[in-house]
Amino acid sequence: MPVVGKILKLTQNKNLSKHEQLVQGVIESIEEGKLAIGDQLPSINNMVDEIGYARKTIFKAYEELKDRGLIESRQLKGYFVISQETNITKRMALLLFAFQSYQEEFYKTFRKEMGKRFQIDVFFHHNNLTIFETILTNINGKYGMYVIAPIQDPKVVPLLQTIEPKKLLLVDRYLDLGTPFSYISQEFEQVIYSSLVQLLPEIKKYNKVILYFNEESDYSPISIRNAFERFLENYDIKGSVKTNYSFGTATKGNLYFILGDTILWHVLRDCVRKKYKIGEDIGILSQNDNVAKEIVFGGITTISTDFKEMAKKAARHIKNDDLTQCIMPSTLIKRNSL
């Protein structure tokens, strides 16, 4: 094969290590059109016979080419070229819940921090186990790094354990995989509970507290609901949990704890129509801060982590190739909505 001849020629270059000769030989073969997408590379055994290098050396070179997204391994078939983007340092899969405002903020910051030599393909699982499994099955083995916001369900654990730990970074949500792995996640239950306790004087101004919680639409973890219900019980606060908001039902004297932005805007619109004054006639508490919440109605009170900093930490982890285990702090941002 032409690629073997290319590598043999590079073996004469003593400035390159054996690993570099193998990787560069494949890359140059792709750039020169000697290897096209779909072409099969020589097997590791054939490379051992033709080049004379150890199996471990050849395997490591093929793994780097996989990390760059240039080749993939197909079970019982071998290694095949899947991309001609040889200028890419590493090809990454980013699997998120959905393109909500805070996840968009994470992506834009992550994209900027990684730079142009890293290819990032984005996927969304929408908190759906079937979609999550389908995506992971389709992308497994095709990327050099997997940055995943996991569904917090035990069924997800064996799926994630099929990915090599050093190639996996969990973000946003924590899931115990039982092996040393990297994560940059949030803690929800204690953060929500302690924030509600801090807001107790403001909360007591209102007749009732209503939490809008819907795992399917706002992708919120059950730990938020647990914290809310524990707070109501411990401080004898009148409140309830609802899954959906009905138009026009915003009621004077109530405080609304809203996790999803869609419901937030519906409630705010009804407040405008009913001429309620936010922070006096009605209270609003939201999760996950953004610019709009900082501005509208004199500011919406939020409980939020810093998604830009989370993205920066994720980028540093990948560039430094370290083990990272970090729980991001969350902040209660008091504004005029309570």
Q: Do domains 90-185+307-329 and 189-287 have the same CATH topology?
A: yes
Residue 223: pLDDT band (50, 70, 90) is very high
Mean pLDDT over residues 274-293, rounded? 95
pLDDT digit string, tens, across residues 164-213:
898 999 999 999 998 789 999 999 999 999 999 999 999 999 999 999 99
* H or E stretch covering 40: none
DSSP annotation string for 267-293: HHHHHHHHTPPBTTTBEEEEES--HHH
- CATH fit for domain 2-81, picks 3.40.1380.20, 3.30.70.3420, 1.10.10.10, 3.30.70.260: 1.10.10.10
Could you count the other beta carbons within 10 Å of the beta carbon of residue 66? 20
Contact present, 28 and 6 (Cβ < 8 Å): yes
Which residues have C-beta within 8 Å of that of residue 106, sequence separation ≥ 6?
96, 171, 172, 307, 308, 310, 311
CATH 3.90.1170.50 fits 90-185+307-329, yes or no: no
CATH superfamily of the domain spanning 189-287: Response regulator (3.40.50.2300)
Burial 328-338 (b: 16+ CB within 10 A, else e): bebebbebebb
The pTM is what?
0.79
Higher pLDDT, 286 or 86: 286
Residue 13 has pLDDT above 90, yes or no: no
In the chain, what percentage of residues exceed pLDDT 90? 73
Q: Count the residues in the chain.
A: 338
pLDDT digit string, tens, across residues 250-279:
999 999 999 989 999 999 999 999 999 999
Query: What pLDDT was estimated at residue 216?
Result: 77
* H or E stretch covering 73: strand 71-74
How far, in Å, CA of 253 to CA of 265, rounded?
18
pLDDT digit string, tens, across residues 62-79:
998 988 889 999 888 999
Query: What pLDDT was estimated at residue 86?
Result: 82
Residue ranges of domains in the chain = 2-81, 90-185+307-329, 189-287
